[in-house]
Amino acid sequence: MQTVDVVVIGAGPAGTVAASYLKKQGYHVTILEKEKFPRFQIGESLLPCCMEHLEECGLLEAVKARNFQKKTGAAFVRGEKKCEFFFEEQFTKGWTWTWQVKRADFDNTLAEAAKAKGVNVHFECEVLEVECSADKQLIVYKDVNGTIHQIECQFIIDSSGYGRVLPRLFDLSKPSAFSPRGAVFSHLEDKKRTEKAGNNIFVHSFDDNKSWIWAIPFSDGSTSVGIVGNREKIIELAANGGEKYKKFIREFDDLQGRFTQADFKFEPRHILGYSIGVKKMFGEGFVLSGNSTEFLDPIFSSGVTFATASGLLSAKMTHKHLQGETVNWEKDYENVIQKGIDVFRSYVTGWYNGDFQTIVFASNIEKSIKYQICSVLAGYVWDEANPFVKKHDSILQTLAKVIRMDEKDFKSSTVF
Ligand code: FAD
């Protein structure tokens, strides 16, 4: 029987950040990862806030060396309207840039860097069963040859992402309140990338804010392009090898012919029903991090940042626990992560009901307001000094209402 201090399930951003932090504190850490790396993953546009997490656990330099596409902001477009945010112009003092990455390369870089620091990373090892208790945890996993192994540890961090290993085994998942949406996507050759389009993510809202397209440029000249919409729409677009998705991307007006002739680098993939909640983020002998907790929606590119934030915090709490200190998991972990998720929940709601668009496409949006919203878009959702964080549950709705009233008054005053 193998024995280590901590087992981390999954080698995505949450798992590698958690494992690297704990290794730095001197623990024996093993990551069990189901897939062979590099492997495809969706979630390619990062937020500046995640740079802090990568730096603190010692993974930033390895990523820097890969020369991924620098991301300095984000642009939102709807028909003729466009609003660009630049992370240099934000309320919270923090990172002003990050990257757009092919996740196969990014995740592999993180896993290799964690390995170089002394974390044992076992690829192609799928966790099947887990038994938890107050002081000893048992994990059963299957390697690539089908051989079953057991490993014992003091604590488990579940970073299994969409695999949701412990939420599945311990019945911890709960449905999301968001409508079941999906996405269909591929990588495209992007020879017509213009100076005007820039290298930052573009988000095109259409269908009365029910659907949107992302364009995420990479440093090798290709671009990730995806469509998000309700379930039925995505199933239709993805059918027959993504025939309708391809046609849509080639012909969609707001993309101005950028991909009319472009080659698709792989057959479009699709994913459905990714929004999911969790009843509890911790239990005896384990904690959940990253997408094993709650995942809302891809619209604001917050997934990887939540993965690194929760990966890091879960590792810090695990360290305290292993030092024999009492950890208040609910207050010091779950409530902190939940707070950030809840801020984004308000913005995701505001995106699909149109309040967010009303604000950012308003002609006279004040600079200070834009800077405060920009900090949320940069991932600084724990900065309570920012009114757009502190009053997240009412501020978008109220502001959008005022803007709509102003626009109505303006229209009626120009008529009479
Ligand atoms: P993952 O990256 O999923 O890693 C989990 C790992 O666990 C995987 O490697 C998996 O193989 C492994 N695993 C699973 N089961 C087992 C098992 N039984 N045993 C061992 N290992 C296991 N986020 C962004 O930040 N930016 C974006 O632009 C963005 N776009 C998105 C677009 C869409 C359409 C969707 C659905 C999501 C998007 N996201 C985005 C979210 C992003 O994909 C996730 O939030 C992020 O990958 C979570 O990281 P993680 O480390 O928690 O999990």
Short-list 316, 272, 309, CA closest to 290: 309
Q: Based on the fold, state whether residues 167 and 20 are members of the same structural domain.
A: yes
Check residue 242 and give left, alpha or beta (phi > 0: left; psi -120 to 50: alpha). left
**388: in domain:** no
Q: What angle do CA 333, 171, 317 make, to 5 degrees?
A: 20
Under DSSP, is residue 329 helix (H, G, I), strand (E, B) or coil?
helix
Same domain, 163 and 289: yes
Pocket of ligand 1 (CB under 6 A): 9-15, 32-35, 41-46, 126-127, 159-163, 165, 183, 226, 271, 274, 290-291, 295, 298, 301-305, 307
Q: pLDDT for 118-149, tens place per residue? A: 999 999 999 999 999 998 999 999 999 999 99
Percent of the chain at pLDDT above 70? Answer: 98
Helix then strand then coil, % of the chain, to nearest 5: 40, 25, 35
Question: Both 53 and 172 in a single domain?
Answer: yes
d(CA 160, CA 172): 14
Element containing residue 56 per DSSP (H, E): helix 49-56
Which two structure tokens, joined as six digits, stand for 80? 């003729």
Count up the domains in the chain and report the number: 2
**Sign, Cα dihedral of 279, 282, 286, 289:** positive
Contact indicator for 163, 179 with CB cutoff of 8 Å: no
Task: Determine the distance separating the centroid of ligand 1 and the alpha carbon of 403, expressed in angstroms.
Answer: 37
Residue with CA nearest ligand 1 atom 15: 163
Q: What DSSP line would sit under 215-257, residue for residue?
A: EEE-TTSEEEEEEEEEHHHHHHHHHHHHHHHHHHHHH-GGGTT
Residue 358 lies in a domain: no
pLDDT tens, position by position, 94-106: 999 999 999 999 9
Q: Is 351 within the bounds of a domain?
A: no
Name the domain boundary from 256, 272, 288: 272
> What kind and span of H or E run contains 24?
helix 13-24
Ligand 1 atom 35 nearest Cα: 298
CA 324 to ligand 1 center in whole angstroms: 32
Do 98 and 35 share a structural domain?
yes
Q: Which of 262, 298, 256, 301 is nearest to 79 (CA)?
A: 256
110: which strand partners? none
Predicted confidence at residue 411, as pLDDT, reads: 60
- Joined tokens for residue 287: 């904690």
Assess whether pLDDT exceeds 90 at residue 393. yes
Q: Which of 222, 245, 216, 229 is nearest to 45 (CA)?
A: 216
**pLDDT, tens digit (0-9, with 9 covering 90-100), for 324-379:** 999 999 999 999 999 999 999 999 999 999 999 999 999 888 999 999 999 999 99
Q: Is 359 helix (H, G, I), strand (E, B) or coil?
A: helix
102 shares a domain with 37 = yes
For the chain, the average pLDDT equals: 96
CATH number at residue 246: 3.30.9.100
Asked whether residue 279 falls in the same domain as residue 334, the answer is yes
Q: CA Rg, the chain, in Å?
A: 22
Q: Confirm whether 390 is domain-assigned.
A: no
Residue 377's H or E segment, with its range, is helix 367-377
Same domain, 136 and 209: no
Pocket test of ligand 1: the residue of 98, 105, 158, 291 to mutate, having most ligand atoms within 8 Å of its CB, is: 291
Same-domain pairing of 259 and 284: no
Residue 200 pairs in a beta bridge with none
Closest atom of ligand 1 to CA, residue 10:
7
- The dihedral of CA 355, 361, 366, 371: what is its sign? positive
Among 238, 272, 306, which residue terminates a domain?
Answer: 272
Q: Of all atoms in ligand 1, which is nearest to the CA of residue 13? A: 51
For the segment 379-397, the average pLDDT, to the nearest whole number, is: 98
Res. 115: pLDDT tops 90: yes
Residue 408 above 90 pLDDT?
no
CATH for 60: 3.50.50.60
Mean pLDDT of 229-242: 98
Q: Which of 139, 101, 137 is nearest to 122 (CA)?
A: 139
What per-residue confidence (pLDDT) applies to 285?
98
Q: Are residues 6 and 139 in the same domain?
A: yes
CA 68/CA 71 separation, integer angstroms: 9
ipTM: 0.99
Lowest mean pLDDT among 80-89, 187-196, 235-244: 187-196
Mean pLDDT of the region 242-266: 95
Q: What is the pLDDT of residues 169-214, one digit of tens each?
A: 999 999 999 999 999 999 999 998 877 668 999 999 999 999 999 9
| Closest approach atom of ligand 1 to CA 303 | 45
Considering the domain architecture, whether residues 113 and 255 belong to the same structural domain is answered as no
* 36 secondary structure, DSSP code: P
Q: What is the structure's pLDDT at 412?
A: 59
Nearest atom within ligand 1 for CA of residue 35? 11
User: Which ligand 1 atom minimizes the distance to the CA of 289?
Assistant: 52
Same domain, 194 and 236: yes
**Which domain does 264 fall in, by range?**
181-272
Would 369 be classed as within a structural domain?
A: no
Q: Which atom of ligand 1 is nearest to the CA of 182?
A: 34
160 occurs within a structural domain:
yes
Statement to judge: residues 160 and 246 lie in one domain: no
Query: Which phi and psi (to 5°) does residue 118 adopt?
Result: 110, 5
Tell me, yes or no, whether 387 lies in a domain: no
What separation in Å is there between the alpha carbon of 318 and the centre of ligand 1?
Answer: 22
C-alpha 361/C-alpha 81 separation (Å) is 6
| Final residue in a domain of this structure, among 219, 238, 272 | 272
Q: Is 272 helix (H, G, I), strand (E, B) or coil?
A: strand
CA nearest ligand 1 atom 4, residue:
12
Residues above pLDDT 90, as percent of the chain: 94
Query: Are 322 and 5 in contact, with CB atoms under 8 Å apart?
Result: yes
Q: Give pLDDT, residue 410.
A: 60
